[in-house]
């Protein structure tokens, strides 16, 4: 196969279980970029949670490298020139916050700069998200945010059993899906976004911009929020630790994230 672009998820894919980017993976990706292969980090995190990895990979602050963040809601150059923005609004925030309160589930929303939550105390998994993204948590009393606040994700962030129970309400989930992109990105995160925001759509945009076709792209991931990019590219690679739905959707399965699965895939299929 002739690969010109590799899209790589971060959590559970690029990083190992300890959230560490290994030197072997860094060296392998740098080798790919030296060969003029476009490497695009494609994450549910905002830019702040991705920047340090762009730096280690030599992809930072460039007008010629790209990054997909917030599950495809934002596409930008790594020098932060905005190319795509698919946002939510304050009414969406109010709707999600009310729904979460009624269901007894912790909720927060992400912008590029902060995490907003009405919860007191702040939920455990909201705190985890803040740690992963490097965003400050802003307590927003009640259920409202300013109309000027550009929200990209509403997130139910709680124990996996509570999210599984929420998803069992098929009527509610179907109603949400009629207006939003709804995806479980981790066992403890259920994300609700603009209906046009997903990793596959973001890759389609980049492909048009760069003149790269789906058969010239590889995507590597592990969770349900990676399925849209697996469907778009011709060369999907599931991590060994991926959920069954991702493994069933792709041609190839690599090693786990604790076994440098990204490096193994690139070395085997690309270099």
9 is catalytic: yes
Among 9, 119, 158, 260, the active-site one is 9
The vertex-211 CA angle with 207 and 212, nearest 5°, equals 55
β-bridge mates for residue 181, sequence order: 193
Beta partners for residue 252, in sequence order:
237
Nearest to 72 by CA among 148, 9, 166, 132: 9
The CB density around residue 22, as the number of other CB atoms within 10 Å, is 18
Closest by CA position to 5, among listed 267, 218, 271: 218
Helix axes 170-177, 160-167, angle to 10 degrees: 80
Tokens of 34: 């030296």
Start-end of H helices in the chain: 23-34, 51-56, 90-103, 124-133, 160-167, 170-177, 199-210, 227-232, 244-248, 261-269
**Active-site positions?**
9
């Amino acid at each position: 196969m002739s690969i010109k672009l590799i899209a790589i998820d971060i959590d559970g894919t690029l990083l190992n279980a300890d959230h560490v980017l290994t030197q072997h993976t860094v060296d392998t990706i740098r080798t790919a970029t030296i060969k003029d292969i476009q490497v695009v980090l494609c994450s549910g995190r905002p830019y702040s949670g991705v920047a340090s990895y762009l730096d280690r990979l030599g992809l930072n602050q460039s007008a010629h490298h790209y990054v997909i963040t917030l599950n495809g809601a934002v596409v930008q150059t790594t020098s932060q020139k905005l190319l795509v923005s698919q946002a939510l609004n304050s009414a969406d925030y109010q709707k999600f916050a009310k729904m979460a309160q009624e269901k007894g589930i912790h909720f927060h929303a992400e912008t590029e700069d902060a995490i907003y939550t009405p919860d007191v105390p702040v939920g455990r998994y909201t705190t985890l998200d803040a740690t992963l993204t490097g965003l400050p948590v802003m307590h927003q009393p009640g259920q409202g945010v300013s109309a000027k606040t550009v929200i990209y994700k509403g997130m139910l962030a709680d124990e996996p059993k509570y999210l599984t129970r929420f998803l069992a309400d098929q009527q509610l989930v179907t109603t949400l899906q009629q207006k939003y992109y709804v995806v479980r990105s981790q066992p403890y995160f259920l994300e609700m976004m603009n209906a046009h925001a997903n990793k596959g759509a973001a890759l389609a945009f980049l492909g048009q911009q760069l003149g790269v076709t789906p058969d010239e792209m590889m995507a590597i991931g592990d969770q349900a929020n990676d399925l849209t990019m697996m469907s778009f590219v011709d060369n999907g690679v599931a991590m060994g630790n991926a959920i069954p739905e991702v493994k069933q959707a792709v041609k190839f399965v690599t090693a786990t994230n604790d076994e440098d699965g990204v490096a193994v895939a690139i070395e085997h299929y690309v270099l």
